[in-house]
């Protein structure tokens, strides 16, 4: 699940990468392996250095796509991805949305609403007895 080529190919094909994309049926899409075989992964020494630097702990990556006719996209560079401690505030809404999506269809709408409401109110969440909290996840 940590193959960089897979994690780039799937969103290029489907527009996003979700947990379902790691299921056998999704991974069996032959376009994924076809695209992965065309990729070249090159270490950027600056990214490696900054990752190991305790003052930075960057998780830098970049991507550039070259089309059949040789024309390229712009190179996109991200030094601190969403979810990195330096981008915590930006990451919280994205994480909350992913959490909400993961509840949908798996837990009743009523309980999903209760769970989301608890997570939106930290003091109330912390005051919720563990057994009551766990009961919200019972299908």
Query: Which helix H or strand E contains 94, and what residues bound it?
Result: helix 88-103
pLDDT at residue 19, rounded to an integer: 85
The reported pLDDT for the residue numbered 133 is 96
The answer on 102 and 64 residing in a single domain is: no
Same domain, 100 and 131: yes
Instruction: Give the number of domains in the chain.
Output: 3
Q: Which residue has the tokens 């992913």?
A: 98
Residue range(s) defining the domain that contains residue 24: 1-41
The per-residue pLDDT string of the chain (139 residues; one tens digit each, 9 = 90 and over) reads 579 999 999 999 999 998 889 999 999 999 999 999 999 999 999 999 999 999 999 999 999 999 999 999 999 999 999 889 999 999 989 988 989 988 988 899 999 999 999 999 999 999 999 999 999 998 8
Same domain assignment for residues 50 and 73: yes
72 within 8 A of 64, measured Cβ to Cβ: yes
At 104 the pLDDT is 86
**51 lies in the same domain as 24:** no
Task: In whole angstroms, give the CA distance from residue 107 to residue 100.
Answer: 10
| pLDDT at position 34 | 96
- Residue 115's pLDDT is what? 95
Residues 90, 55 within the same domain: no
């Amino acid at each position: 699940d940590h193959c960089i080529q897979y994690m780039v190919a799937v969103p290029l094909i489907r527009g996003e990468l979700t947990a379902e994309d790691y299921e056998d049926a999704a991974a069996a899409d032959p376009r994924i392996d076809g695209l992965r075989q065309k990729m070249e992964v090159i270490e950027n020494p600056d990214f490696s250095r900054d990752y190991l630097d305790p003052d930075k702990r960057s998780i830098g990556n970049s991507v550039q796509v070259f089309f059949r006719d040789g024309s390229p996209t712009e190179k996109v560079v991200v030094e601190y991805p969403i979810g990195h401690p330096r981008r915590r505030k930006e990451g919280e809404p994205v994480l909350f949305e992913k959490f909400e999506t993961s509840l949908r269809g798996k837990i009743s709408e009523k309980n999903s609403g209760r769970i989301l409401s608890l997570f939106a109110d930290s003091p109330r969440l912390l005051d919720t007895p563990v057994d009551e909290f766990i009961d919200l996840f019972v299908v």
